[in-house]
Amino acid sequence: MEVDPDRAARWVAGFADRHGPPTASTQAYGLLLSAPDGATAELHTPPGAPVVPDLDAFVREVVAPRRIGLLLARKGAVAMGIAEGTQLSVHKVDTRYVQGRTAAGGWSQQRFARRRDNQTKAALADAADLAVRLLLPEADRLDALVAGGDRRAVDTVLADRRLAPLAARRADRLLDVPEPRYAVLVAALAAARSVRILVREPQSEAGR
């Protein structure tokens, strides 16, 4: 599940009410809560936030405002921006036509496939140029870069040598988003800031 940072403390309190006061141990992903009844909860640190040794520090850090870059790419559409806390300070959405798949066969299908590949390459090259103008100047000031959409498209954009400082800030989290639009970019910011939680119930309850 994904929990808004402002609700993290309330969620932890609810977990303790249901399963008993948990102990917290530091993990590479964040914190592991282990309750007396055997239930566990993995609290994954949001991109840009540091891994901390205890629960109080975790709750403080996840709500702290951070400067996050966003890069969403899928097919011929790209959306990117820079967020200060919960607000996008700058943003840009760009769309280029990329031909869809065709049901035709033979040479016609191959010709359409080549055209589609060329259109995709051109769109991603434009996306890299846009990232150079919009995101790269702020790379050193970003706490993290969070990407979303099609992994291959994102990887292609960030493979541009000019964007190496930006790629170095890339978080492990890849957001699952539809074709990038402004509304999708806004929703992606909320997902990028969220605390991802994986709960495992006690064996006695899991087996019911």
Residues 52 and 15 occupy one common structural domain: yes
The Cα–Cα gap between 136 and 1 comes to: 32
Residues 57 and 87 occupy one common structural domain: no
The Cα–Cα gap between 188 and 176 comes to: 9
pLDDT, mean of residues 150-168: 96
Confidence (pLDDT) at 115: 62
* pLDDT per position as a tens digit, 102-142: 555 544 566 656 665 666 677 788 999 999 999 999 999 99
Contact 195, 31 (CB under 8 A): no
Query: Which domain, by its residues, includes 73?
Result: 67-191
Residues 182 and 202 occupy one common structural domain: no
Residues 147 and 80 occupy one common structural domain: yes
pLDDT band at residue 205, thresholds of 50, 70 and 90?
Answer: low
Joined tokens for residue 29: 């992903």
Q: Report pTM.
A: 0.85
Residues 29 and 132 occupy one common structural domain: no
Confidence (pLDDT) at 202: 87
CA dihedral 149, 155, 156, 158 (to 10 degrees): 110
The Cα–Cα gap between 56 and 78 comes to: 38
**Residue 81 clears pLDDT 60, i.e. is over it:** yes
pLDDT band at residue 198, thresholds of 50, 70 and 90?
Answer: very high
Residues 187 and 136 occupy one common structural domain: yes
Contact 54, 205 (CB under 8 A): no
Strands 144-149 and 195-200: unpaired
Confidence (pLDDT) at 122: 77
**Residue 163 clears pLDDT 90, i.e. is over it:** yes
Number of H helices, E strands in the chain: 7, 10
Beta strands in 29-143 (DSSP E): 30-34, 40-44, 67-74, 77-84, 87-95
Residues 99 and 177 occupy one common structural domain: yes
Check residue 50 and report its DSSP letter: P
Confidence (pLDDT) at 112: 57
**Residue 146 clears pLDDT 60, i.e. is over it:** yes
Question: Percent of the chain, pLDDT > 90?
Answer: 78
DSSP SS3 for 33:
strand
The Cα–Cα gap between 33 and 139 comes to: 34
* pLDDT per position as a tens digit, 28-64: 999 999 999 999 999 999 999 999 999 999 999 999 9
Confidence (pLDDT) at 114: 64
Confidence (pLDDT) at 113: 60
Q: Tally the domains of the chain.
A: 2
Confidence (pLDDT) at 123: 79
* pLDDT per position as a tens digit, 2-24: 999 999 999 999 999 999 999 99
Confidence (pLDDT) at 75: 79
Question: Burial level of 32, CB count in 10 A (0-12/13-18/19+)?
Answer: middle
Check which CATH number belongs to the domain holding 127 and give it. 3.30.420.60
